[in-house]
Structure formats: C-alpha cells, structure tokens
Amino acid sequence: MDINGASAIVTGGASGIGAAVARQLAAKGAKVVVADLNAEKGEALANEIGGVFAPVDVTKTEQIESAIAQAEELGPIRVLVNSAGIGWAQRTVGRDGEFTSAADLGAFSKVIAINLIGTFDCIRLVGTAISRTEPTESGERGAIVNMASVAAFDGQIGQAAYSASKGGVVGMTLPVARDLAAVGIRVNTVAPGLIDTPIYGEGEDSEAFKAKLGESVLYPKRLGLPDELASMVVECVTNSYMNAETIRVDGGIRMPPK
C-alpha cells in the first residue's frame, strides 16, 4: 500500500519506538500526526518530520477524535499505529498474607485502560475514519498496527497487569482484522522484545544494565533498536498481504520467570 500523501496517526509517537515509527512513515511520504502527552517532544518531532502534534491521552475519547480531525486535514487517513502504553510490576499477593498487600487493583485497571482499552478505542474511532476514505486502486483503505510485547507470551514475575493488557491486544488482532476486512482495512500486531528506549535512562550504569539484559537475547546479544521495530511496523503498513498477524521482533528471546 502506497502511503505517500496519506495521513497517519501514531499514538505514543513522541519518543522511543513511536518516534522511530513516525520518522519512517514520514520518510515514506506520510503526513504524520504525533499523538502523545509530551507536548515538548511531540511538537519538536512533528516539526522535524513535517507533521503535526496532537495532545492525546488514549483514555480520552474526545482527544482521539480531535487527532483524527487533524489527520483528515493533512490528507486521506490510511494509517494508525498504536504505540502508547505504560508498564507496571507488582506481585499478585504480598508476603504477609494481608489483603492490603495484594496487588493494587487500581494500578491493574489503569494498565488495562491505557494499553488495551485505549488501543481498542483508537482502533474503533480511527478505523471508522479510515472506512470513509476512498479506497486505493487495489481496493484497500488503510492499515492498523498495534504494539504488544513478548510479555504477552512470556510474562515475568510481577507482570500480570502488563502481560494481561498486551495479551489482550494480541487476542483481539484476528477478530478485529476480520471485522475490518469488510471495509478494506488490515490489522497486525508487533510484539517487541527488549528495546533500547529512554525507559532505561542514560549514563554508564544504564549502559551496563542494558548490556546485562542483552545477554539473555538469543542473537544478537543486545537490546533491539527502535528503528528495527519501526521497520517491521512500516512493513505491516505497506505490505498489502500482511494481515491478522502478530509478529515477535525480539532477537529470539524467551523471557525467564524473572
């Protein structure tokens, strides 16, 4: 699918994997809406790639709708990449046997609200907008790519909330792809492994920590680069025969319990 001149929305697009995706989509000629909570980084990136910034909390339906309106002003909307998300780690029960030390249900709900429900809200709304776009010569209207995680399959100790949210994204990929096939929209999910993003910080200690993490990767024994993830996202967008699939991009890692 040719995305030159089309508009694309990338949630969580101001940094990390989302920013790498935004840059690569722009390099293909797309007009990108960088949808994020971080206005400073989002606006800087949008200026860099010739797109626009939209302040978006994916738990706020009205903010998603506003980003769609901005995208439709840039060109025919054909692409959504759901990269917004948060992490959380806490064991399910505490060591003292008290109810109060059990996992924080509010935190669990927040992770699900952002990573899973927010992803679906973006899909249903942006998918509706794409369904109004005129189809290409091949009959397709657009493509959606979700960001899951290898934690959907290899969740570690303390990752119940995060793994549940990303497992939900994986689980809805096929049924949503089946739903949207009727309007010519493809849906795929990418599941990253350990990726070198700002979450790990900077400096010697950070580099040493990342090197240690990289030892658990099958090959190559390092953290993945955001551009390596972004290239797979772009392939899922532009390859017209990629549909209803979840693809691990993880160097072959299988996460241990901890």
The answer to whether position 95 is within a domain reads yes
When pLDDT is cut at 50, 70 and 90, the band that residue 57 belongs to is very high
When pLDDT is cut at 50, 70 and 90, the band that residue 41 belongs to is very high
The answer to whether position 72 is within a domain reads yes
Q: 143-168, pLDDT tens digit by residue? A: 999 999 999 999 999 999 999 999 99
> Does 126 score more than 90 pLDDT?
yes
The answer to whether position 111 is within a domain reads yes
Distance CA 6, CA 3 (A): 5
CATH of the domain at 243: 3.40.50.720
pLDDT of amino acid 84? 97
**Residues 33/56, Cβ–Cβ less than 8 Å:** no
> Does 199 score more than 80 pLDDT?
no
> Does 203 score more than 90 pLDDT?
no
The answer to whether position 158 is within a domain reads yes
pLDDT of amino acid 206? 86
Provide the percentage of residues in the chain whose pLDDT is more than 90.
93
Q: 204-248, pLDDT tens digit by residue? A: 888 988 898 899 999 999 999 999 999 999 999 999 999 999 999
Strand, helix or coil for residue 98: coil
In sequence order, what are the residues at sequence separation of 6 or more whose Cβ sits closer than 8 angstroms to the Cβ of residue 218?
A: 251, 252, 253, 254
pLDDT of amino acid 210? 87
Other Cβ atoms less than 10 A from the Cβ of 165: the count is 29
Provide the percentage of residues in the chain whose pLDDT is more than 70.
100
Active-site residue identified among 162, 200, 219, 241: 162
The answer to whether position 258 is within a domain reads no
pLDDT of amino acid 188? 99
For residue 47, the enclosing domain spans 7-249
pLDDT of amino acid 130? 98
The answer to whether position 69 is within a domain reads yes
The answer to whether position 216 is within a domain reads yes
Backbone angles phi and psi of 147, in degrees to 5: -105, 115
pLDDT of amino acid 166? 98
**Residues 118/172, Cβ–Cβ less than 8 Å:** no
The answer to whether position 1 is within a domain reads no
- 162 part of the active site: yes
pLDDT of amino acid 197? 84
When pLDDT is cut at 50, 70 and 90, the band that residue 191 belongs to is very high
Structural domains of the chain, count: 1
